[in-house]
Amino acid sequence: MLPPYQPPVQQGTQDKETKKGDQEPLPRPVSTNPFKGVWAITRLVRPHAPPQRSSGYMVFTDAFTSMHLYLPALSPQLPPRFQSSFRSYRVTGTNLVTSSLQGVRNAANRREMLIEPSGRVERRRFAFLSQQLLRIYQTDQAFMELKKIEQL
């Protein structure tokens, strides 16, 4: 009686060096987008408001930005100001043009919640003060400065 048929054992088509390379992560391409990264808000300048501490972050990918800003109240009777939003963006010359996808902030009275309308477009002038320092203007006198803390 013949033994049962056994198919031949297949040898891999890759040599040992190639197989080793398959286990290593592919190098990430270097982005030429100077915005791309995680930025910490280091300074907030508003001409008609007393200087105060603020904190917040912005994250830029190639097509989207997410901003989270916290501004403590000057008086203990008032709640803090805040804004959080997720937007698409594009650069047009020296302007950063954003379109709201989702966002929320409190009103000037700090008690009402305001939802950003989806699709709301804002245009802000910007300037890179260095590769790691970005200024975004609300007006000629009002702006925020951000320091890059991580490259994506």
pLDDT at position 23 = 62
CATH of the domain at 104: 2.40.128.280
Q: Is residue 64 part of a domain?
A: yes
- In order of 5, 7, 8, 81, 85, the CA distances from 1 in angstroms are 12, 18, 20, 87, 77
Range of the domain at 68: 34-150
The pLDDT value given to residue 110: 79
Could you tell me if residue 18 is inside a domain?
Answer: no
Closest CA to 109 of 75, 58, 67: 75
What pLDDT shows up at residue 28?
66
Does the residue 116 lie in any domain?
A: yes
In whole angstroms, what is the distance from residue 109 CA to residue 129 CA? 34
Q: What is the pLDDT of residues 110-138, one digit of tens each?
A: 789 999 999 999 999 999 999 999 999 99
What pLDDT does residue 72 have?
84
Q: Kindly state whether residue 109 falls inside one of the protein's structural domains.
A: yes
Give the residue-averaged pLDDT of 136-141: 94
User: 29 pLDDT exceeds 90?
Assistant: no
Predicted confidence band of residue 24 (pLDDT cuts 50, 70, 90) = low
User: Of residues 80 and 102, which shows the higher confidence score?
Assistant: 102
Model pLDDT for residues 38-93, shown as the tens digit of each residue? 999 999 898 887 777 789 999 999 999 999 999 887 778 878 889 999 999 999 99
The number of domains in the chain is 1
- Alpha-helix runs per DSSP H in the chain: 16-22
Asked whether residue 29 is assigned to any structural domain, the reply reads: no
Beta pairing partners, 90? 97
Question: pLDDT at residue 25 above 60?
Answer: yes
